[in-house]
Structure 1
Amino acid sequence: MTDNDPQNQPTPPTRRAAVALWWATAWSEGGLLYRRWEELRLARRAGWHKMANWIKAVLALAGACAALVLLDGGIGVTNDAVNRLLDAAPAVQVGTDTSSGVWAVIDNPVRSYIAAHSASLPISASTVYTVWQVTGLFGLLGGFLRSSGACLTWTAWGAASIAMVWSATPADGRTIATGMAVLAWTAASAFALRGLSLRPAVFTQVHNAGARVEPHLHLPAPVTPPADDGTPDNVHPLQKR
């Protein structure tokens, strides 16, 4: 019987045996799964900056997924709450001159503009007018509390209101109505934009380490002239090559 006999050839390992060998090797000291388990076990004590990068990636991905789920649910709940609040708000007559006094110069053009441009919207003109009022109130109160987002909202709300007054006021009184709207918005901005300044901020940094500086005066050492032995200085000994 020769060595080429198929009966003498070693039997190749089965797939199950190969998987078992890989599993044992991976969990042995220094193996792939062993190192991953050690990194996971030490992650709590290592902190965010020293933990393994793959753990950071898994945590970041899980946090992003959780944030998306919460945001999706929160948007639905907020939308339902806002719709119920607006439906519960009393209906406001839009498109009719119901205001009186100085406020009517600004409010009536806004009502007319909203009534003329909200017919194709899925909400009523009364709801749009309520949202306009709530937005202005939010910008005024939030800006007074020095919120940057509220200050931007107040600025955009004022610009939109002035544009509506200009567009909806008749031509003979448009300039006066727009000027009064600008003055009213500017006066209210004293509260909404409280703390803002048009002057550029200048920051001066002085670094003082607290070290005591003592002046020192360095004088060169006096040069002592060589003693005069009577030998002329222009005579040099003859050197042999």
Structure 2
Amino acid sequence: MPSHDKPVNGQDNPSFFDLFDQTPPPPVLELDGKHGTRRLAKLRAAWKESWEEGGFLYQRWEEIFQARHGSWHEIANWIKGAGLLAGISLIVMMVDTAGDIASATLKGLSAAPATNAGDGSGLWGTVDQPIRLFLADQAAHLAVAPAALYAFWQLTGVLSLIGGFFRNSGARIAWGLFGCVTLAMVWSASPAGGRAAATGLAALMWALASIFALRGLTLRPIVHNHPPQFQPQFNPALHLHATLPAPTPSGDDYGDNIHPLQR
């Protein structure tokens, strides 16, 4: 009998289709001329036998049950393959969905109508008005609407602020670049008489928002006190030096272990 699985208890583990092909039909159904009835009986017999201990489906179910408690190397190969295939399919679906969302967002920003520039009054208007004017002037030389540039500027600031609050390094770098670009736009588009005041006000607003974006950031050096990897080993040892007596002369009348008592 051909085997399609690992041996169980020293015996071959036949597959379900082998059991189906080799299972004889019931004797009563052999007298019946209906081919479909005999085939259905063989299918039922093969299904029942494959679920018995040591059968093909029984062994697969045991592998699934043991995979919950085993390591990656102990999991059956077919379970690994199915898991990897499902993971790759999920990643492809997520990337495709994210691409569609990003494409729709960019198209919406490009088709956004022009926003009202306002009169530039108030503290926020002093900073916001030069930014709108600067973006509108630059958009005249680009194939993009001023509203799309302004919306992208706002989106960058919001995402970098939120990411920096959660201590994301990339978001904090983006927040720093966002602040520098904003100050440059305010300085460039503000009136000459109030340029310094508008830029300073924008810097103060950005510094206040940085309290949240740079939460937990410190400039103090971090000192790691780790014990040395290789420590000298001190093994005290006691060394005893014994002095051996001189050999007895050849003409001595005393034995080797007996010596006269001398004062």
Report the 3-state secondary structure (helix = DSSP H, G, I; strand = E; otherwise coil) of the residue aligned with 2:86.
helix
Q: Which segments of 5 or more consecutive residues in structure 2 lack a partner in the other structure?
A: 16-55, 252-263
Report if aligned partners of 1:139, 1:153 keep a CA contact under 8 Å in 2: yes
**What's the counterpart of residue 8 of structure 1?**
none
**What's the counterpart of residue 246 of structure 2?**
226
Report if aligned partners of 1:113, 1:168 keep a CA contact under 8 Å in 2: yes
Work out the CA distance in 2 between the residues paired with 1:42 and 1:229: 89
**What's the counterpart of residue 116 of structure 2?**
93
**TM-fit CA distance, 1:109:** 1.4
| 1:161-184 Cα distance to aligned partner (Å, 9 max, x none) | 123224333566656644553444
1:115 and 2:136 aligned:
yes
Residue correspondence of structure 1 range 1-241 to structure 2 within 5 A:
25-27=2-4, 43-44=63-64, 45-46=66-67, 47=70, 48-53=72-77, 55-73=79-97, 75-76=99-100, 92-94=115-117, 96-101=118-123, 103-118=124-139, 125-126=146-147, 128-170=149-191, 174=195, 177-206=198-227, 216=236, 218-226=238-246, 228-229=248-249
Judged with a 3 Å threshold, the aligned counterparts in structure 2 of structure 1 residues 107 and 51 are, in CA distance, closer, same or farther, namely: same
**TM-fit CA distance, 1:195:** 1.1
Judged with a 3 Å threshold, the aligned counterparts in structure 2 of structure 1 residues 32 and 68 are, in CA distance, closer, same or farther, namely: farther
Count of aligned pairs between the two proteins = 196
Of structures 1 and 2, the one scoring higher in RCO (CA 8 A, sep 6+) is: 1
Give, as a single letter, the amino acid of the residue that structure 2 aligns with 1:168: A
Report the 3-state secondary structure (helix = DSSP H, G, I; strand = E; otherwise coil) of the residue aligned with 1:60.
helix
Report the 3-state secondary structure (helix = DSSP H, G, I; strand = E; otherwise coil) of the residue aligned with 1:25.
coil
Give, as a single letter, the amino acid of the residue that structure 1 aligns with 2:136: A
Judged with a 3 Å threshold, the aligned counterparts in structure 2 of structure 1 residues 127 and 147 are, in CA distance, closer, same or farther, namely: same
Q: Report the TM-score when normalising by structure 1.
A: 0.57
**Range 60-69 or range 50-59, more displaced:** 50-59
Work out the CA distance in 1 between the residues paired with 2:197 and 2:14: 78
Work out the CA distance in 2 between the residues paired with 1:49 and 1:99: 68
Report the 3-state secondary structure (helix = DSSP H, G, I; strand = E; otherwise coil) of the residue aligned with 1:68.
helix
**TM-fit CA distance, 1:67:** 2.4
Work out the CA distance in 1 between the residues paired with 2:102 and 2:5: 53
Report the 3-state secondary structure (helix = DSSP H, G, I; strand = E; otherwise coil) of the residue aligned with 2:2.
helix
Give, as a single letter, the amino acid of the residue that structure 1 aligns with 2:242: P
Judged with a 3 Å threshold, the aligned counterparts in structure 2 of structure 1 residues 143 and 219 are, in CA distance, closer, same or farther, namely: same
**TM-fit CA distance, 1:83:** 8.4
**Range 73-82 or range 154-163, more displaced:** 73-82
Work out the CA distance in 2 between the residues paired with 1:132 and 1:32: 65
Work out the CA distance in 2 between the residues paired with 1:157 and 1:222: 83
Judged with a 3 Å threshold, the aligned counterparts in structure 2 of structure 1 residues 33 and 97 are, in CA distance, closer, same or farther, namely: farther
